[in-house]
Amino acid sequence: MSVASKLAKGIPQSLLEELRSSGGTLEHEILHKLSHLPAMAEVQPRKRVLEMPEYHPPLAGRNALRLDFNENTIAPSPRVLAKMREITAETLTIYPERQAVEEIVAQAHGLTAEQVLLTNGVDEAIHLMACAFLDEGDEALICTPTFFMYDVSVAMMTSGLVKVQCDDSFEFPFERFLDAITPRTKLIIVASPNNPTGSTISREHLLAIAEAAPQAVLMVDEAYYHFHGDSVMSDVGSIANIIVARTFSKAYGLANLRAGMLCGPKRLIDFVRKVSSPYNVNGVALAVLPEAVADQEYLNSYTTLIHQGRERVQETCKQWGIRTWPSAANFVLMDIGAKHKLLVDAMRRRGVLLRDRSADPGCDGYVRITIGSEQQVTAGLDALRASLDEIQWTPAESVLAQGRTAKGERDYE
Ligand X SMILES: Cc1ncc(COP(=O)(O)O)c(C=O)c1O
Residues near ligand X, by CB under 6 A: 70, 121-123, 147, 191, 195, 221, 223, 247, 249, 255, 260
- Judge whether 267 and 240 are in contact, CB under 8 Å: yes
343-353 CB burial, b ≥16 within 10 A, e <16: bbebbbebebb
CB of 102 to ligand X, least distance (A): 16
Q: Smallest Cα–Cα separation from 198: which of 321, 407, 369, 383?
A: 369
Output the smallest distance, CB 268 to ligand X, in A: 19
Which of 72/398 has CB closer to ligand X?
Answer: 72
- In the bound state with ligand X, the residue whose beta carbon lies nearer, of 123 and 360, is 123
Q: Which one, 123 or 397, has the nearer CB to ligand X?
A: 123
Q: In 10 A of CB 138, how many CB atoms?
A: 20
Smallest distance, ligand X to C-beta of residue 355, A: 10
Q: How far is the CB of 187 from ligand X (least distance, A)?
A: 15
* SS3 of the chain: helix, strand, coil, percent, to 5: 45, 15, 40
The answer to whether 235 and 207 have CB atoms below 8 angstroms apart is yes
User: Which residues on neighbouring strands pair with residue 164, listed in sequence order?
Assistant: 143
Q: What is the DSSP string of 228-282?
A: T---SGGGTTT-TTEEEEEESSSTT--GGG--EEEE--HHHHHHHHHHS-TT-S-
Q: Are 157 and 137 in contact (CB under 8 A)?
A: no
State the nearest-atom distance from the C-beta of 63 to ligand X, in Å.
Answer: 20
Q: Which residue is nearest to ligand X (CB)?
A: 121
CB of 197 to ligand X, least distance (A): 10
Our CB check for ligand X shows the closer of 178 and 255 to be 255
Closer Cβ to ligand X, 4 or 219, answer by number: 219
**Which amino acid makes up residue 354?**
L
Q: Which is nearer to ligand X, 223 or 293 (CB)?
A: 223
Round to whole Å and give the CA distance between 276 and 119.
8
CA distance 382 to 394: 16
Residue 120 vs 185, nearer CB to ligand X: 120
Residue 133 or 248: the one with the smaller Cβ distance to ligand X is: 248
Max Cα distance, the chain (Å): 84
Contacts of 22 (CB under 8 A, 6+ apart): none
Q: Give the number of other CB atoms < 10 A from CB of residue 131.
A: 16
Q: Which of 330, 396, 329, 326 is nearest to 365 (CA)?
A: 396
In the bound state with ligand X, the residue whose beta carbon lies nearer, of 52 and 152, is 152
Spatial distance between the Cα atoms of 123 and 57, rounded to a whole number of angstroms: 13
Least CB distance from residue 344 to ligand X, whole Å?
18
Q: Can you tell me the distance from the alpha carbon of 350 to that of 344, in angstroms, rounded to the nearest whole number? A: 10
Handedness of CA 103, 107, 109, 112 (dihedral sign): positive
Provide the minimum distance between the beta carbon of 297 and ligand X in the complex, in angstroms, as a whole number: 23
DSSP state of 392: T
Beta strands in 172-241 (DSSP E): 185-191, 217-221
Q: Which is nearer to ligand X, 122 or 210 (CB)?
A: 122
For the bound state, the minimum distance from the C-beta of residue 228 to ligand X, rounded and expressed in Å, comes to: 12
Task: Find the shortest distance in angstroms from Cβ 12 to ligand X.
Answer: 49
